[in-house]
Amino acid sequence: MIPLDFTGITLVLSARTFSIIHGSFQDATAADVSGCEDPARGCRASAGRSHPPDCSRSRDAAGLPRKGPALTNPMTVPRTPGSRVRWPRTARNLIGALAGLVLAYALMLAFVYATQRWYVFPAPVGAAPRCPPPCQYLVFDGPGGRRVHTVHLPASAGEPTLVVFHGNGDTLASTLGLVDALAREGLGVYGVEYPGYGPAEAYAPSEAAVYEDAEAAVVRLREHLGVPRERTVLLGHSLGTGVAVEMARRGHAARVILVAPFTSIPDVGARLLPFLPVRWMMEDRFDNLAKARAVTVPTLVIHGGRDGLVPVEMGRRLASALPDARLVVVEDAGHNDALASEPGIGPRELIPFARGLPE
């Protein structure tokens, strides 16, 4: 999402508004006294007046200027029956400008609301991931008539299996580097694709659909591939942290690893688009903070200290809300490099945590 800056428009509008109001007052003042001339030359009615001016307001009985001019608001001057009150042109311009601004804002709201799922699920498409043996590319029938796409690298004896939920700008194919790096450590890896992504492009993505396919995949890992819950570790990056938190809340894992997690999607949107009521508009919320207390398994939170998309403060808040969490801040990392796969897996706390080893 690209934040927009309306500061310049606001300043220009403020300056224009002051100029219009100030000009209207000057016009009104001039119109009130312009009908009076020097008594030596007599009085004349100013153009556009429907009644003769009262020159005595500007001159006293001796014809001398009054010290305190008694000006009358032209809007309160009595008018002949049937006459129409006309707003000054500058006031009409101001009303038109404000109406245009309101219309533009309403159109922007409608556009963002209608396209919000594109921001949450940009859904890159692509072919099925290349998965040479011993990696298995597995596709099975899932909920809602969808086909669920997964990759599986079996774990070495006694090792856990990490279920990987990628970020919203990735696909299952783009995570194979991480899959290989984890497999070199002897860990099992099970990657799950989202509806609308990669080879699953035929399906419409949504928070509910992502949860449904993720749960179907985790259940299949346990019931068909023989990986018990006690050896299942959920690993989510960015958007994938919302999936991992929900699956952990449902009791599908023994441990959780969250990389670059957010508190909720509306919180991220409100930070990027502060001039829009994003928190009221978002349909797919992935509210990690609200679910945190229900995630009772050990959790490792990894966040880049220079994350410009999801600030590290969100990771700190989430880690504080989780009952059994440890926070690791990678100071020089951004949003996409807090979890390293080359030359080795990093940060160094990840592998021992996945294995359940003491700190």
How far apart are alpha carbons 2 and 314 in whole angstroms? 20
Other Cβ atoms less than 10 A from the Cβ of 96: the count is: 10
75-89, 103-117, 253-267 — which one is most confidently predicted on average?
A: 253-267
Q: Reply yes or no on whether the pLDDT at 47 is more than 70.
A: no
Same domain, 72 and 111: yes
Q: Half-sphere exposure of residue 124, counting CA atoms within 13 Å on the CB side?
A: 13
Cα distances (Å, whole numbers) of residue 122 to 54, 138, 161, 171, 213: 71, 24, 28, 11, 18
Tokens describing residue 232: 């299942």
Same domain, 156 and 206: yes
Tell me which amino acid residue 357 is: L
Task: Return the pLDDT at 93.
Answer: 86
Which one, of 358, 344, 359, lies nearest residue 187 by Cα?
344
**CB-CB contact of 308 with 3 (8 Å):** no
3 state SS of 127: coil
| Mean pLDDT confidence for 53-71 | 53
Please report whether residue 37 resides in a domain: yes
Residue partners of 214: CB distance under 8 A and separation at least 6: 165, 192, 243, 246, 247
The CA R_g of the chain, rounded to the nearest whole Å, is: 34
Same domain, 97 and 217: no
Cα distances (Å, whole numbers) of residue 298 to 32, 44, 234, 356: 79, 91, 11, 9
Task: Return the pLDDT at 80.
Answer: 58
Same domain, 241 and 330: yes
For residue 260, the enclosing domain spans 136-355
- End residue of a domain, out of 60, 93, 120: 120
Please report whether residue 328 resides in a domain: yes
Same domain, 41 and 190: no
pLDDT tens digits for range 77-90: 555 565 565 667 88
Please report whether residue 147 resides in a domain: yes
Please report whether residue 156 resides in a domain: yes
Task: Return the pLDDT at 249.
Answer: 98
Pairing of strands 188-192, 161-165: parallel
Same domain, 192 and 44: no
pLDDT tens digits for range 284-326: 999 999 999 999 999 999 999 999 999 999 999 999 999 999 9
**CB-CB contact of 260 with 238 (8 Å):** yes
3 state SS of 148: strand
Please report whether residue 65 resides in a domain: yes
Same domain, 34 and 168: no
Same domain, 264 and 211: yes
Consecutive H or E run containing 161: strand 161-165
Q: Reply yes or no on whether the pLDDT at 54 is more than 70.
A: no
This prediction has a pTM of 0.75
How far apart are alpha carbons 20 and 70 in whole angstroms? 24
Same domain, 116 and 140: no
294: burial class by Cβ within 10 Å (0-12, 13-18, 19+)? Answer: middle
Please report whether residue 94 resides in a domain: yes
Q: Reply yes or no on whether the pLDDT at 28 is more than 90.
A: no
Cα distances (Å, whole numbers) of residue 311 to 45, 105, 108, 267, 287: 69, 27, 26, 11, 16
How many domains does the chain fold into? 2
Same domain, 177 and 51: no
Q: Which residue has the tokens 């100013």?
A: 46
| Residue 281's CATH number | 3.40.50.1820
Same domain, 206 and 275: yes
Same domain, 38 and 185: no
Task: Return the pLDDT at 183.
Answer: 92
Please report whether residue 95 resides in a domain: yes
Please report whether residue 97 resides in a domain: yes
- The two most distant CA atoms of the chain are separated, in Å, by 115
